[in-house]
Amino acid sequence: HLGVKNLADPDFIYIYPIDFEKKELIASMIDDYNASATKDDQIQYADIAAMLMSSVSSIITAVSVVLICFVSISLLVSSIMIGIITYISVLERTKEIGILRAIGASKRDVGRVFNAETIIVGFVAGMIGILGTLFFNVIINVILFHFTQIANLKAALPVGGAIILVLISMLLTFIAGLFPSGIAAKRNPVEALRSE
> If 0-12 CB within 10 Å is exposed, 13-18 middle and 19+ buried, where does residue 119 land?
middle
**Tens-digit pLDDT profile for residues 139-172:** 988 888 888 777 777 878 888 888 988 898 888 8
d(CA 147, CA 138): 15
pLDDT band at 1 (very low <50, low <70, confident <90, very high): very low
pLDDT band at 131 (very low <50, low <70, confident <90, very high): very high
Name the DSSP letter for residue 37: S
pTM strictly above 0.85: no
**Tens-digit pLDDT profile for residues 70-115:** 888 888 888 888 888 888 888 888 888 888 888 888 888 888 888 8
pLDDT band at 12 (very low <50, low <70, confident <90, very high): confident
3 pLDDT above the threshold of 70: no
Q: Count of residues for the chain?
A: 196
CA distances for 39 relative to 12, 15, 29, 35, angstroms: 17, 22, 17, 9
7 pLDDT above the threshold of 70: no
